[in-house]
Structure 1
């Protein structure tokens, strides 16, 4: 079953699961759902302050930047926030919902989709803040923002597939969580969010090639095309992202279908 068919078929149940997922995170807190907004405001403001006022005074980035450095940073940070949150929560999508997994009639393949959509809900808040920042700085938005819905769908397919894969493996290999945590801790520095790819050549010639084996680099480049460059600066990245997203979900689904028969015994 394709991802979009799965979402459409169980849209009512998925909506309830999504509300429950987000609501449980802030249950008992005074602000409740407002924390979704507050967290993103804090992160966006933190990066904006650090890279608008502190970092430029330490390093000259103006010569290689066609526009302000903050927009470049945030254009890559917005998707990375969703990636890191999805990956961090994926090891527990099945192990943390044993009661649902053991129900014969419950469509457990919705659980990774729920986790992915919850992360992307936070991302949409950060995106709204970034668009506001861009309007304040430049007065207009580039026409490429019209590609954002397409990009969000590709990202959903990519991350849902990875969540299916990681969640399924974690039922049998509990160490999966530790490996994922190591990657998410270092991941921000492994994608071109804080730097331009050509900057790497100044530090270590040849290391720039490492970006091209990281699938998340292509996701970041596509987001930067939409929000920073205002044109398709990386056309190959869009093609690669489409292929990687489809492969991710297909492979994640395959592993899930092979392993799900033993979930009940291992939970």
Structure 2
């Protein structure tokens, strides 16, 4: 199902699978110009090249894109598969897992581009990059849990699919994608760390670009919290799925 889902995204297009790489690159060029040239954003204290800024920016966009993709699609998942609800016995929770796997494919395609850029521009890829799957493990759990919650709510509240677009846009600008957390006043930094994506964006940059070890205490807290979100999301989905057929 994941393979079919990914194939249908690019089916019939001239670019085919290349769009998985070209679209993120186009957005990266636009964001890099706007924030590094127009708004003069900087990550370090010293001089910084546009390519370095772009790589740091791209790492944040990859993390955000993975979560936002799942969040935007979740309210449609059950509604788009009515036959699975009414006519066959089917484990509907798998629909969310398929959506997360599809989003992971897009994220991995972008990640390959970033790794190639690191190798070409910096001459090496830090060994800590091997720890990225561990860094992303809680993020995947969070995405699955939120996906189950929104997939269920989307059946009963059809307006939710309109709201998630606004939510993901807001999430983009309250996440440290275009600016570092330390650039904010201390009071705002505390609020920024309440955003669950902040930790994953910062840790992705740490292991991929700056060659630092992950914050293991923060990772342990995040794996527990995201596991709880996944469990609650699954419990909610299973409890409410009994009413799907009646509503649909």
TM-score for the superposition, normalised by structure 2 = 0.89
Between the aligned partners of 2:42 and 2:11, the Cα distance in structure 1 is 45
Alpha-carbon shift at residue 254 of structure 1 (Å): 0.8
CA displacement, residues 100-126 of structure 1 (integer Å, 9 cap, x when unaligned): 222442121110011111111111111
Counterpart of 1:102?
86
- For the 8 Å contact 1:155–1:219, the answer to whether it is kept is yes
For residue 128 of structure 1, the aligned residue among 108, 112, 117 is 112
Alpha-carbon shift at residue 55 of structure 1 (Å): 4.7
For residue 228 of structure 2, the aligned residue among 229, 241, 247 is 247
SS of 1:63's partner is coil
- 1:208 and 2:189 aligned: yes
Unaligned runs of 5+ in 1: 1-16
Counterpart of 2:123?
139
Between the aligned partners of 1:229 and 1:248, the Cα distance in structure 2 is 30
Counterpart of 1:11?
none
- For the 8 Å contact 2:70–2:100, the answer to whether it is kept is yes
CA displacement, residues 18-74 of structure 1 (integer Å, 9 cap, x when unaligned): 12212222333233333223223323444455556x257x35654168993222212
Alpha-carbon shift at residue 266 of structure 1 (Å): 1.2
Between the aligned partners of 1:64 and 1:172, the Cα distance in structure 2 is 52
Q: Decide whether aligned partners of structure 1 residues 213 and 95 sit closer, same or farther in structure 2, where only a CA change above 3 A counts.
A: same
- For the 8 Å contact 2:21–2:113, the answer to whether it is kept is no
Counterpart of 1:224?
205
Between the aligned partners of 1:150 and 1:61, the Cα distance in structure 2 is 25
Counterpart of 2:160?
176
Between the aligned partners of 2:225 and 2:139, the Cα distance in structure 1 is 10
SS of 1:90's partner is helix
For residue 73 of structure 1, the aligned residue among 50, 53, 57 is 57
Between the aligned partners of 1:113 and 1:79, the Cα distance in structure 2 is 17
Counterpart of 2:45?
63
Counterpart of 1:6?
none
Q: CA RMSD in A?
A: 2.3
CA displacement, residues 104-162 of structure 1 (integer Å, 9 cap, x when unaligned): 42121110011111111111111011111111221111121111122333322221111
Deviates more, 1:92-101 or 1:235-244: 235-244
Alpha-carbon shift at residue 93 of structure 1 (Å): 1.0
Between the aligned partners of 1:241 and 1:168, the Cα distance in structure 2 is 24
Counterpart of 2:132?
148
TM-score for the superposition, normalised by structure 1 = 0.83
Provide the aligned length of Structure 1 versus Structure 2: 246
CA displacement, residues 149-205 of structure 1 (integer Å, 9 cap, x when unaligned): 22333322221111111101111122222332211012111111111112111xxx5
Q: Decide whether aligned partners of structure 1 residues 228 and 212 sit closer, same or farther in structure 2, where only a CA change above 3 A counts.
A: same
Unaligned runs of 5+ in 2: none
Between the aligned partners of 1:157 and 1:92, the Cα distance in structure 2 is 20
